[in-house]
Structure 1
Amino acid sequence: MNTHTLALYGCAAAVVVPGTRLIAARSHGQQSGPGRLLADLWRRPVPRAAAVLTGVMVAMAVVQSAAPDVVPHLERAPHGPWWRAATALLVQTSGWPQLAFNLAALAVVAPAAERGLGTGRMPVVFLLSGITAHVVSMAGWSVHGGGDSVGVCGLVGALAAAYALDGRQRPLRYLSVLVPAAGAVLCLLQNNHGVGVLTGVLLGAAAALVGKDDDKDDSSDGSERTAVVGA
């Protein structure tokens, strides 16, 4: 196993391990098995955007399994039209292992991200992270291929950034910093998952900072109303 492969595995662990801990923290901080965790993430009220996104990807998995010829028309391609950066998210070009892993990851990460980021923000982070990663790949890193794992990485990056800025558990906040660090190393290795991670980190940090400003504004309005009533 060469240094490049070791670095890739190390970066994958630096994304997956903190990501798993962050998702568990979103599940009321409870330690539970995969089944209990999944049930809790999909509890009522059901995260609607995550349900729609997962449904679309399951439908596309059925389509590409029944009609494999659709994949070359949607994946990244050298000098291909710009829209392929978006459609590349819909197809998994490395066969059943990629298909199974990406669907499982999406089913776990998407509801956790929606509960953490919001119903409107989660799909935006997924799409912008995934499309940006595929654009970079089409520009020369890896002109062929497809998959939604770059979008999932963006969601993990956004959760990590949000928790690093405003999380309650200090050890987990420190652990979250590993995610953007791994994203940076993956970019140095010209792996498009790093682009997805860092795009998600930027979007998650922006969402967290906007949320803090909104909370301050709400607190100020509340104080002013109290002062008026007291007067």
Structure 2
Amino acid sequence: MLVVTTCWVAQLVHPELLQALRRDPPALAAGQWWRVATPLVVQDPPWQWAVLGPLTLGLGAVVERFWGGRTVVGLFVVTGLLGEAVGYAWLPRGAGSSVGAAGLLGVLVAWSLSPAARVLPAVLVPRVRTAAVVTLAASVASVVLHDVHGLPLLAGVAAGGFLLAKDRREDAA
């Protein structure tokens, strides 16, 4: 998140960074290979990191509590790159870290639908699970509508399922 925040601040000072780093299929085809990953660290529109920054940090903090900091970074990068790849197909001009945040949210959706969510106060469990199901349905709809956030969120759900299954195997051993 430090890298994304640093790039956001740099983008505020040097607005031309957005044009240099955002998704741009002709520039990518012309050999600007860095455009595979750099759309994840600039924001289009620039104000969105003011909202996404705290949200991403909050999601990351919860995921880190369960699976550690390396997992947070790995999930953010992998699901974020998936979102940017989808973006090249569905929304060729753009940028943003929201796709990485969607992946982190997906992990928490998987967790909230699992037996592990029973650590929450009993009154919250049905509400959290309802929100998770609604989020899951919205991510499927997002894919159908060609929004770049749906597949990263679903990939996060799949990763969360894998992490939960791994935890159960380790607990059983």
Q: Report what 1:227 is aligned to.
A: none
The amino acid across from 1:136 in the alignment is V
Question: Which residue matches 2:102?
Answer: 153
Matched, 1:112 2:62: yes
Rg larger in 1 or in 2?
A: 1
Deviations 1:75-100 (A, max 9, x none): 1111415542321110001132x131
Q: CA RMSD in A?
A: 1.6
String of CA shifts for 1:175-218, please: whole Å, max 9, x gaps: 4222222111101010001112111111111111111111101x
Matched letter for residue 215 of structure 1: D
Identity, in percent, stands at 30
Normalising by structure 2, we get a TM-score of 0.86
- Establish whether residue 141 from structure 1 lines up as the match of residue 90 from structure 2: yes
Q: 2:12 aligns with which of 48, 65, 69?
A: 65
Task: State the partner residue of 2:38.
Answer: 87
- The 8 Å contact of residues 37 and 84 in structure 2, kept in 1 or not, is answered as yes
* CA deviation after TM superposition for structure 1 residue 113, in Å: 1.8
Does residue 146 of structure 2 align to residue 186 of structure 1?
no
Deviations 1:75-132, CA, capped at 9 Å, x for gaps:
1111415542321110001132x13111121222221221133222111111111100
Give the C-alpha shift of residue 66 in structure 1.
1.0
TM-score, normalization by structure 1: 0.66
The residue aligned with 1:25 is: none
Tell me, yes or no, if the aligned pair for 1:183 and 1:195 is still in contact at 8 Å. yes
- Unpaired stretches in structure 1, ≥5 consecutive residues: 1-52, 218-231
Contact conserved, 2:52 with 2:98, CA < 8 A, in 1? yes
Which ranges of 4 or more aligned residues in structure 1 deviate by more than 6 Å? none
Q: Any conservation in 2 of the 1:132–1:196 contact (CA below 8 Å)? A: yes
- Partner-residue secondary structure (3-state), 1:88: helix
Gaps of 5+ in 2: none
DSSP-derived class of the 2:94 partner: coil
**In structure 2, how many angstroms separate the alpha carbons of the residues matched to 1:207 and 1:85?**
27
Distance in 1, Cα, partners of 2:105 & 2:84: 17
Mapping of 1:198-217 within 5 angstroms? 198-217=154-173
Rounded Cα–Cα distance in structure 2 between residues aligned with 1:60 and 1:179? 29
8 Å Cα contact 1:117/1:159 also seen in 2: no
What amino acid maps onto 1:127 in structure 2?
V
Tell me if the contact between 2:8 and 2:46 (Cα under 8 Å) persists in the aligned partners: no
